[in-house]
Amino acid sequence: MDYTNEPDCKLPLALIVDMPELKENPFRNRIVESFSEDGMGNLSFNEFVDMFSVLSEMAPRELKAIYAFKIYDYNVDNYLCKEDLEKTLNKLTKEELTPEEVELVCEKAIEEADLDGDNKLSYTDFENMISRAPDFLSTFHIRI
């Protein structure tokens, strides 16, 4: 990977998620994928900078919300459906919860945040919910 001669190269996903800042993050794959143009996780330098700029503490709340939505949307259909939530929850708890508990939690989450009644969270629902969260800005933050 010769950066001086080919400044336009793309780093593969496996290399980026090995960074110390991302190594312990359960969502590291999704983070890198949502910032890559090809959706596969290969980042050029500009996209890399973009990623860390969004995750820095100077980025505005709306921008972070947009990207948070993209990160948690596993099947990339612009909605956080139940399967997305289940995957998120399993990643967060390392699958320690029983299936009934997972079911209950996802049900409750959708019930709380869903405003238009379609049993999945659109970006408006998500944004409405996350804008009221007190610690969203402080947790969705990587210092590099």
Partner 1 sequence: SDEDDEREKRKAAARKGSKASRKKVSKEQSDDESEEDKGRGKKSGRAVSKKEKEDQNNDKKGNKKGKDEENKNKTTSSSFSSPPSPADSDEESLSEGEIAALKEQVEEKKKLIATLRNKPWRMKKRLLLLNDWTNREAQDFVEKFEGALGKGKGRRLYAFKVMMTKKLIKFNRDFENFKTACIPWERKIKEVESHFGSSVASYFLFLRWMYGLNLVLFGFMFGLVVLPEVLMGLPYGSIPRKTVPRDEQATAMDFSVLFDFGGYCKYSVLFYGFYNNDRSIGVLQFKLPLSYLLTSVGIFGYSLLVVIRTMARNANEGGDGGDEGEFIFSWKMFTSWDYLIGNPETADNKYASITTSFKESIVDEQENQKDENIHLRRFLRVFANFLILCSLGGSGYLIYFVVKRSQDFAKMDPKTLTWFENNEVEFVMSLLGLVCPPLFETIAELEDYHPRIALKWQLARIFALFLGNLYTFLFALFDEVNGKLEAEKSIKNATEWALHQYYANYSSFYNTTNVPPPNVAPADVIRGPCWETAVGREFVKLTVSDVQVTFLTILVGDFLRAFIVRFLNYCWCWDLEAGFPSYGEFDISGNVLGLVFNQGMIWMGAFYAPGLVGLNVLRLLTSMYYQSWAVMACNVPHERVFKASRSNNFYMGMLLLVLFLSLLPVVYSMMTLSPSFDCGPFSGQEKMYDVVIDTIQAMPAFIGNIFTYVSNPGLIMPAILLMVLAIYYLNTVSKAYQQANTDLKKKMQMARDDEKNRRNNQDSTNQVMKDLEDLLPNKSLAPTPVAEEKPLGTLNFLIVIDKTRTTRTKPGTAGKGVEVQKEESLSAPNPRRPVTRAPGPRGGPPGNMRSPQPEPGRGRGQIKYPRPA
4: its two tokens? 């001086």
Binding test (CB under 8 A) with partner 1, winner from 1, 6, 24, 99 = 24
Helix (H, G, I), strand (E, B) or coil at 80: strand
Interacting residues of 34 by C-beta distance below 8 A, sequence separation 6+: 67, 70, 71
Residue 83 in the binding site for partner 1 (CB under 8 A): no
Binding test (CB under 8 A) with partner 1, winner from 14, 15, 40, 63 = 63
* Whether the Cβ atoms of residue 64 and residue 54 lie closer than 8 Å to each other: yes
Residue 75 in the binding site for partner 1 (CB under 8 A): no
Size of the site for partner 1 (CB under 8 A): 55
Count how many Cα atoms sit within 13 Å of the Cα of residue 128 in the half-sphere of its side chain. Answer: 11
Total length of the chain: 144
Binding test (CB under 8 A) with partner 1, winner from 3, 46, 75, 77 = 46
Nearer to partner 1 by Cβ, of 13 and 129: the residue is 129
Residue 129 in the binding site for partner 1 (CB under 8 A): yes
Interacting residues of 45 by C-beta distance below 8 A, sequence separation 6+: 7
Q: Can you state the angle between helices 28-35 and 45-54, rounded to 10 degrees? A: 120
Nearer to partner 1 by Cβ, of 5 and 117: the residue is 117
Binding residues for partner 1, per CB under 8 A? 20-21, 23-27, 37, 46-47, 49-50, 53, 55, 59-60, 62-63, 66-68, 72, 85, 88-89, 92-94, 96-97, 101, 104-105, 108-109, 111-113, 115-119, 126, 129-130, 132-133, 135-136, 139-143
